[in-house]
Structure 1
């Protein structure tokens, strides 16, 4: 078979100490042979430039779910990983390759782990067993990708790929920190320095291919970094290396003006600030998790969200401060929200009511999304992740000093817009709601001043998003998109 993507010896990047580019590819971007070939070409095109690269990979698309399934089967007395092995063998065969000894060893290890789960049952905690089993997805993924990359580009001197498990380069986590909501604090104190030292050296000799999502704790147990953990891995690596930028490659065209499942003509947003992206993702967007961008925020390192299926598109650039004039950036929709109304006449003119309420929320470990208050009432929203049993206990305690109404099946519609336009966006949005006969249950203007949230019933949420998107983005012309029209009507029009 002809070697695709061969380069001339002179094209190889001379090894030099420059800021690297961190490139993270999600599971859907490497789910098939053609997708892996495309990703390898994307990575190689950057690696042959002036900056070294570090590649961070998730497990191949579908692998994590398959691993969770075989773990469940092992608990029920059945062990069969043949379908997972076959999937990886078939992809290797598309490149005239066989699975390496390292990969076969990992599959054998996985079988032994599953056998131990089947025999020992409750002797190993469910979380620890799950973390250990799913970690094989990323570990096999980086080794297979490295083999394919090296096969496609055999003449790339100084650009040979090398696979690394995250703990080899310093991803060691602190006990009980992974679900605390912190980011860099999940790692032991000297982890960032070790990651920087390990990868700075590796990137001068190889193209490091690093497992995302997984780590080890100080006792050697495999741990995972939670939802969108591979994005967080890439962000931590970028911060440790003081990277030129961190690229998050997905199967979408960047951050969109709305969920394309609701708004088919949603368009990519060219640029957003870290603050805007945090608000957007917190309130429903699934492209980048808010925790995943914190490490690069602290170091003011740009992050770019790009489409692995169409690398020529610019994607969305996430920066500390935007220099692009804009109106509404994007609209998010958070479904299955619960509204809690708390009313007490004792609140009027008295102190301590709010603290009393939120001490109870803290006691039952229920986090709050948005809040609106008056002299005698508090309205707040909870996302779908709360424990319903805990909410019932909380409600019983609140009823000792207040009237409480809990309403489920609500949606939080959030507009991301600059704070100087918030009054105009509020005015215009309420005109839209009035004209469309959309009842609003609650309004919240976040402390960041870049988000405006409206609570509506789930059943009309999509209609609400469509009406807002049509008004702010559906009638845009090129002047509106770049913020060049100074009229009031266009200054709050969305920009992408």
Structure 2
């Protein structure tokens, strides 16, 4: 059995939607499948905008709701045939009516709760999933909508809910126990519910997570994540032209590169599959014949990962001392502040911490989102008010508008010359490196540069380190 998930870009136009229907048709002939589907590309953002306008008592929310209605009825009219069409029209009209009622309710309220927001932005998945059921039935396939709020149980952390796996696994097993082989279950990704029955969402890109949760609970043979690129690439193709695909990765490797900006898959989605030793394959819905990238628990310790990633809209904060006395105490107090704000990892708007010591100089640096840095700095200044006044800490410096470039070379390609080559390449092109750090987990090298140099730095590093792979790619194309 396979669980196959399609993202919003894969169904972003009527033509793409039809392409997904054909992929599903071919897949269900090969094996028993469960389909997980996101909202149509751009619809979740539109719903978020509608929530914002309604909460601000701006009538633009009505225009957005009308646009959402128009888009889905356009898809419906082009995808679905009679007599199925009338059934789906009834369902879509009901969901659209619910959208208008909820938005009008927000318009009347003085404030919008995260619970209100989740109940509205989840409607994009309800719309797209019912369109898919209708489209599949229109070509003679048996399909049935399975509402994930009925079996993915979460806490009440609206916007990024935490899954109760003990209860969720039990409910999934019950929900899919007696499904006939000829029926294709269609599941709305991104959505769950708390103990009170309130709709919750699993975070942006949470449909990946939904597919993984279901795949792990049912012990699927594989989970397929269908997106708009040929698996995991060596860099962001929107930034680097001559990227190449990575055929196979370990779950830990994918977690690392995702944490440092690679737009691969929703990081949480790997956890349940990794525990059950179920492979995941990342495929391109625009190029179904490509084999994509397989992610699994590898037995080999020799990694050949070769990826460059980046994260921007960051700030670099540096606490400077003239000597290393009391440095440990300062470091512990700083970590408490970062922990209090749950800034434990850069992926969640958190931090990367670095400390350096000279004979008479001590610096603690951390990197955080530019959106949170101002509030954070005030708290750091309050915590270390005495140290600043008495010059135990000489100053706190903040460098805004920086980006992190991370280079993953894998231990198979471990070589100290890689670091030298990176610095020489950037120096020759007059790109300053503000901070450098290196970890040995999967041989990743990270540097902080000015954000204005982000794209140039990525291209320079990618072309310098992966020259041989690029040449092979160009030769195959020729």
State the TM bucket, normalised to the shorter chain.
0.7 to 0.9
The worse-fitting range, judged by mean Cα deviation, of 101-110 and 129-138 is: 101-110
SS of residue paired to 2:143: strand
Matched, 1:453 2:461: no
Q: Which residue of 2 aligns with 1:86?
A: 70
Matched, 1:109 2:89: no
Deviations, residues 402-431 of structure 1 (Å, cap 9, x unaligned): 232111111111011223615343233233
Alignment match of 2:318 (pick from 327, 337, 341) = 341
1:384 CA displacement: 3.8
User: In 2, distance between residues paired with 1:305 and 1:39?
Assistant: 15
Q: Which residue of 1 aligns with 2:274?
A: 297
Q: Which residue of 1 aligns with 2:347?
A: none
User: In 2, distance between residues paired with 1:349 and 1:106?
Assistant: 61
Provide closer, same or farther for how the CA distance between residues 314 and 89 of structure 1 changes in structure 2, counting only shifts above 3 A: same
SS of residue paired to 1:48: helix
Equivalent pair of 1:328/1:415 in contact (CA under 8 Å): no
User: In 2, distance between residues paired with 1:36 and 1:340?
Assistant: 46
Equivalent pair of 1:339/1:380 in contact (CA under 8 Å): yes
Provide closer, same or farther for how the CA distance between residues 422 and 201 of structure 1 changes in structure 2, counting only shifts above 3 A: farther
Q: Which residue of 1 aligns with 2:115?
A: 128
User: In 2, distance between residues paired with 1:86 and 1:354?
Assistant: 55
Equivalent pair of 1:95/1:148 in contact (CA under 8 Å): yes
Summarize the alignment of residues 298-377 of structure 1 with structure 2, pairs less than 5 Å apart: 298-321=275-298, 327=304, 329-345=306-322, 347-348=324-325, 351-367=328-344, 368-375=350-357, 376-377=362-363
Alignment match of 1:164 (pick from 132, 146, 167) = 146
Equivalent pair of 1:276/1:450 in contact (CA under 8 Å): no
Equivalent pair of 1:440/1:454 in contact (CA under 8 Å): yes
Provide closer, same or farther for how the CA distance between residues 477 and 255 of structure 1 changes in structure 2, counting only shifts above 3 A: closer
Matched, 1:404 2:396: yes
Summarize the alignment of residues 36-435 of structure 1 with structure 2, pairs less than 5 Å apart: 36-49=17-30, 51-75=31-55, 76=57, 78=59, 79=62, 81-97=65-81, 98=85, 99-119=88-108, 121-122=109-110, 125-152=112-139, 154=140, 156=141, 160-168=142-150, 170-176=151-157, 179=160, 185-187=162-164, 189-202=166-179, 204=181, 206-321=183-298, 327=304, 329-345=306-322, 347-348=324-325, 351-367=328-344, 368-375=350-357, 376-386=362-372, 388-401=374-387, 402=393, 403-419=395-411, 421=414, 423-435=416-428
Equivalent pair of 1:413/1:456 in contact (CA under 8 Å): yes
Q: Which residue of 2 aligns with 1:32?
A: 13
Deviations, residues 255-287 of structure 1 (Å, cap 9, x unaligned): 211112221121222122212211111111123
Provide closer, same or farther for how the CA distance between residues 70 and 361 of structure 1 changes in structure 2, counting only shifts above 3 A: closer
User: In 1, distance between residues paired with 2:23 and 2:339?
Assistant: 47
Alignment match of 1:473 (pick from 466, 470, 475) = 466
Provide closer, same or farther for how the CA distance between residues 39 and 216 of structure 1 changes in structure 2, counting only shifts above 3 A: same
Deviations, residues 61-87 of structure 1 (Å, cap 9, x unaligned): 222222233334444264453322222
1:190 CA displacement: 1.4
Unpaired stretches in structure 2, ≥5 consecutive residues? 345-349, 388-392
Provide closer, same or farther for how the CA distance between residues 197 and 259 of structure 1 changes in structure 2, counting only shifts above 3 A: same
- What's the Cα RMSD here? 2.6
SS of residue paired to 1:172: coil
Number of residue equivalences: 449
What TM-score does the superposition give when structure 2 sets the normalisation length? 0.86
User: In 1, distance between residues paired with 2:287 and 2:301?
Assistant: 24
Equivalent pair of 1:328/1:472 in contact (CA under 8 Å): no
Equivalent pair of 1:22/1:245 in contact (CA under 8 Å): yes
User: In 2, distance between residues paired with 1:444 and 1:419?
Assistant: 16
What TM-score does the superposition give when structure 1 sets the normalisation length? 0.83
Equivalent pair of 1:178/1:186 in contact (CA under 8 Å): no
SS of residue paired to 2:314: strand
